[in-house]
Structures are given as structure tokens and as C-alpha cells.
Chains A and B, each alone.
Chain A
Amino acid sequence: MFLLIIDKNVSMIGPMSMTPHWSADRSLRLSVVCTWVALVGAAAAGVAAPFLPEDFGPVNFDRAGFVRYAPSIYLCLAIGLVALVVLLRLLTDIARGEVFTLANVRRIRAVSWAAVAIGVVCVVSALALDHRASVVLIGLAAAFCGLVARVIKNVVDTARLLKEDSDFTI
């Protein structure tokens, strides 16, 4: 059991106690905020990338390397932005109480395929250009996220069928 301080109140999170202060509603709002931050951050990174200095943080792309990878970077960025918009729509539906629906299953499937597509683009471009290990690792991480999203899609789809059965049991 560990302590988490939220809004000056001390809450306990863990198997021993469900928190009185950290509700599902707040968790959902946090997810929406994180998705918006990712969306705005990704868009800003896409705009700022060509103007960043060569030794900017951990992204150690030289100018020639950036130009080589630019099509892959912007393709991944476009796919990622679409996936984030889909995630926002998913979160909007969840906030409305529509969780286990066919539309949400399709959205999670789309996010899964988007992550796999980013993985494929990263790995293929790294192998085709300069065998940069960091790009291959990013691709593999994205593909793994896609796999996790796919499993979640299977869970939600099964839950949807169970809910349908429950709704039509009188």
C-alpha cells in the first residue's frame, strides 16, 4: 500500500483500500488532459523539429539525418495525431457512460493498428536508411503498444457481448 497526495487530501491506493478522493471521474479527466498534452506536444514537435538545434536534448539528429528521416517522422506524426484524436473521441464516449460499444471497439482497434503502423514505418525506415538502433527500438516499442491495445480491444469486445447478453436478459 502506498500514499498518494491529491488536492491536499491523503488517499490510499491499492488492493487494501479503494480511495475516497481519487474517483473514476478524476481518472478519466486525467486521461483526457494527458491525451490533449500528447496531441498538442506532438503537433508542436512536428512544427518545431526542423528548427531545433542539432544537440537538442536526447534527440541527437544531425541535420542530414533529420532530412533523411523527415518523411518517416512526419508520417508517424500524422498517424499518431489521428490515433490521439480517436483516443479523445473514445474518452468522450466513456465520459458519457458509453463504454462497451462497437464504436469503441473499432476505435481501440484503430489505435492498435496505428501503433503497429508507426512501428513498421520506424523499423523499415531505420533498416532502409542507416540501421539506427534507437529508431528500431522506438518502432518495436510502438508495435508492442499496438499489441497491448489489440488485447484491450479483445477484452472490450468480449465485455460488449456480455453486456449485450445482460441487457437482453429480462
Chain B
Amino acid sequence: MPITVNLDILLAQRRLPAGELAARVGITPANLSILKNQKARAIRFSTLEALCRELGCQPGDLLEYDEYDAEGDSDD
């Protein structure tokens, strides 16, 4: 997947535990873990909005497109 979710970087920068972010955003820690581990296939605008609100960032800070990964991407 050429889209990377930089959630772990943002969490580390803000010294915020993943469980607390999950509670604030209103998703389960398991779902937050899916996002963190790059396993998610899609993200709802409402979730993205809540993440940006709680982390004080823009969607572009959270999501990153890697064109080199896209070239070699064939398993999805």
C-alpha cells in the first residue's frame, strides 16, 4: 500500500498513549492499531477529522503517499 499512516510518529511527538487517543477519537484500540500498523484499507472522513482534531494536525501530516512503494505494489 503506497499510503502510509504516520500515526506512531504523531503519537510519539505528542507523547500521547494510543489507548487515550482511541478513547478521545471514539474508536477501539484494536482499530487504532489497524491504522498504526498500516493494515487499514480505508478511513472514514469522520475518523480522519477526529484524529486531526485530537492530534492538532492536518490530514497531510497523518497520511503520506510513497510513489516508490506504489511502483512495487502488487499484492493488494
Contacts and interface: CB of A to CB of B under 8 A. Distances in A.
B47 interface: yes
Contacts of B41: 164-165, 168-169
A170 interface: yes
Interface residues of A, number: 5
Main secondary structure, interface of A, reads mixed
Nearest to A169: B42
Contacts of B39: 168
B12 interface: no
A54 B39 CA distance: 64
Interface in B23-76: 27, 31-32, 34-35, 39-44, 47
A24 B32 CA distance: 33
Contacts of B34: 168, 170
Nearest to B39: A168
A164 B35 CA distance: 15
Contacts of A170: 27, 31-32, 34-35, 40, 42-44, 47
Interface of A: 164-165, 168-170
Given A168-B40, A170-B34, A170-B35, 10 more contacts: A165-B41, A165-B42, A168-B41, A168-B42, A169-B43, A170-B27, A170-B32, A170-B42, A170-B43, A170-B44
